[in-house]
Amino acid sequence: NMTAQQCEVVFHDEDNSGGGSSSIIDYNDDDDDVNTIHGRRDWVSKIAAGFKSLENSPPELYKVYAIKFLDSYSYFSVSNVFTLFLSDDFGYSDVEAGAIYGAFGAMITVYGFCIGFLVDNLGVSKSLKLGYGITILGRCGIFL
């Protein structure tokens, strides 16, 4: 039996084999929040368990995540201002600056596909050190 503030949501499987599940949703008008009967802690505990599984990971994993974070931060920082830089400092139109940025992105993608054999031959550690060293030099060169 459900109250007026509850509704049943049925999830069907994609291949229509008759499987699926249902969940009763409790809608609380007081704080306009939707809570499942089983509680919000279900998905929070699943996420926490995922992070807890990393607690015995080797320190190199955290170093790789830190380097990847810094690389992504620098890439997206540059990508946000690259077309503005080309337009303001070099006088390119917005369309030309966008085309140059598109070519830059395409070259990064092609480079990623073509450089795989080098990573296989050098090994992951040497490849990361060489790659990030070249990246740092290249990005510093952009601003000189």
Assigned token pair, 134:
């070249």
Whose CA is closest to 88, among 99, 74, 96, 105? Answer: 96
CA distance readout (Å), 59 to 40, 63, 123, 139: 32, 6, 18, 27
Q: pLDDT tens digits for 33-72?
A: 444 545 566 777 888 888 888 888 888 888 888 888 988 8
Q: pLDDT tens digits for 89-110?
A: 989 998 999 999 999 889 988 8
**pTM above threshold 0.75:** no
Q: pLDDT higher for 130 or 15?
A: 130
In a 13 Å sphere around the CA of 27, the CA atoms on its Cβ side amount to 10
User: For position 5, what pLDDT does the model report?
Assistant: 43
Alpha-carbon distance 82 to 77, whole Å? 9
Whose CA is closest to 119, among 127, 109, 110? Answer: 127
